[in-house]
Amino acid sequence: MTTAMTNSSPHVKDSAWLYCQMIINGDLLASDAVIKTCQRHIDDLDRQGDADFPYKYFSKRAKNFIKFSEMLPDPKTGEVYPLAYFQKFIQSMLYGWYEVRKDKKRVRRFKKAFITMARKNGKSILVAGVALYELLFGRNPKMSRQIFCTANDKKQAKIIFEMIRKQLEALRRSFDEIKENTKRVREEIKNLIDESFIMPLSRDTGAVDGFEPYIGILDEYAASKTTEMMELLESGQMQLENALNIIISTSGFNLNAPMYTEEYKYAKAILEKHVIDEEYFCFIAEHDAEEEYLNEDFWIKSNPLLEVESMFDATMKFLRKRLDRAIENQDLNPVLVKNFNMWRQHSKESYMDAFDWKAAEDKTVDIRKRKVVLGIDLSRGDDLTAVGFVYPLSEDEFHIDAHSFVATKGGLAAKEERDHINYTMMAENKYATITDLETGTINIDLMLNHIENHVTENELEIIAICYDRAMSNYMIAEMEKRGWNYPLVDVAQGFLTLSEPTKQLRMGIIDKKISHSGNPLLTIAVNNAVLDKINDAQKISKKTNREKIDPIIAVVNAWTEAMFFNEDDGSYFDVWS
């Protein structure tokens, strides 16, 4: 016990502390997120002993785990290599920090880890060591530890499993005890002493008897369209006080994937101290500005393995070749996503770049007592309808937002699963309204009520209501019954009408003349939006019916009129002519 207390002293100068010093002092270049992660560790060392912080850092435990990891051979070469500083840091966080309970019992602090960096930076080796260590030496629980290598499909799930198998074979050749106590049976690695096992797990896997996942490794989580596998793991861990789930992935092309919309944003919120979660660890090796890929000095931000001198030249040569070829072929996205860990839409025809959209977010805009142009995108009665809002702020500045109305025909749960959108949560957070009709179809009266309430509560002045004439007869009749005298603008949905507003809205966002509130349903729509083109004319479309774009269509409808409005005198003109 005395030794443990000595090792948990606030500033023991182990490899994790040294890495933090190099990062914070700028000796090693890193992303803002990694800097914040390192600062979090240093700050937490100082918090040890505080009444509201029941965690201690045990450097010796971290060192023991690192020592084990460095015994494991590279599956491709069979050689043993020392870990890089960033790898030691990550492992130290997972195996050095513990919650010390009143009965002196220690359980791991971090129950979830989010680790993301560019491809070929040693991610898989990190988690393979975790799986093997827990299979051989895990003690809580003492028996039947279930360890799953999880991915969206079986092929991906088996990648880390095969790496673990090869590393275990090397240990079996070196240690008779491990050879006697372990066995591979088809797609399962067993500890014969305590009935623990490692196996791949995907959506294709059948039922697992007594499913109680102790360790869950989610490989390349960016490819997952739903949270199904994550929820499967977490729902089975209620009785396990020492469980750990590790997300290990490069970024992806689907900006509506849960890794981006949920885990990435949650991790960032923790690092920004907007959210407190003492049991969630994150390591995000990324670029802080898109243009950083043009400067080789910054490549280490997304490729932390560049800190290893023996690998530097070969890695840089590889990245240069990949980037040069991408520039020559005018197809940067795959390289920026996989080799520089940037989130980007897959299609060259995507309407809006994610960086530009995020940069235009402004939650501080006060919309009260302003003029507003409404845009309405009506749908079939059993789909999504949206109202877009464009608020002129000054002569050439605008703010946009939207509200969606959700049909439930066929069941809300089925629609949420089909669309990969949690409409229930969206409604709870006031971004959407779910229909109240028993038929499950859109209630136009509910939409008009929302507009009236929104206008009244914020003391708005409606300039115009822009709509698509398709399926609009009932809506217009209801507006007349309510005594609405606002100008109605019928927006034809062809290239001739929509091309220029579509272009100008995009350029206004890029130039930061148009801001938005970060509305998640509007963001999903922007991420789904692609461009249909005829010569130089363009309008927004989508790849599949499941990919909802209604909120951005509603905003474009409103923008067809708002783009000509002069806030100063209420007249109309071409804003950016």
Q: Where are the domains of the chain?
A: 2-290, 354-562
- Residue 358: which of 539, 519, 576, 249 has the closest Cα? 519
Provide the percentage of residues in the chain whose pLDDT is more than 70.
94
What pLDDT is recorded for position 346?
63
For domain 354-562, which CATH number applies: 3.40.718.10, 3.30.420.280, 3.40.190.10, 1.10.10.10? 3.30.420.280
What pLDDT is recorded for position 332?
86
Residue 65 CB-half CA count within 13 A: 28
Please give the C-alpha separations between residue 490 and each of 466, 487, 560, in angstroms, as whole numbers. 6, 10, 10
For the entire predicted model, the pTM comes to 0.78
| Beta-carbon contacts of residue 287 (< 8 Å; ≥ 6 apart) | 31, 293, 298, 301, 302, 340, 341, 342
What pLDDT is recorded for position 4?
37
Q: 213-219 and 146-150: which strand pairing?
A: parallel
pLDDT tens for the chain, residues 1 to 577: 333 333 444 577 899 999 999 999 999 999 999 999 999 999 999 999 999 999 999 999 999 999 999 999 887 788 888 999 999 999 999 999 999 998 888 999 999 999 999 999 988 888 999 999 999 999 999 999 999 999 888 888 899 999 999 999 999 998 999 999 999 998 999 999 999 999 999 887 766 657 899 999 999 999 998 898 999 999 999 999 999 999 999 999 988 899 999 999 999 999 999 999 999 999 999 999 888 998 999 999 999 999 999 999 999 999 999 999 988 887 888 999 999 999 987 666 789 888 889 899 999 999 999 999 999 999 876 689 999 999 999 888 999 999 999 999 889 998 888 888 889 999 999 999 999 999 999 999 999 999 999 999 999 999 999 999 888 999 999 999 999 999 999 999 999 999 999 999 999 999 999 999 999 999 999 988 988 889 889 999 877 667 899 999 999 999 999 998 765 555 544 555 4
Q: Find out whether 87 and 311 touch, Cβ atoms under 8 Å.
A: no
Please give the C-alpha separations between residue 452 and each of 158, 232, 460, 462, 491, in angstroms, as whole numbers. 55, 42, 10, 10, 22
Please give the C-alpha separations between residue 403 and each of 34, 99, 256, 324, 498, in angstroms, as whole numbers. 36, 43, 18, 43, 21
Q: What homologous superfamily does CATH list for 2-290?
A: P-loop containing nucleotide triphosphate hydrolases (3.40.50.300)
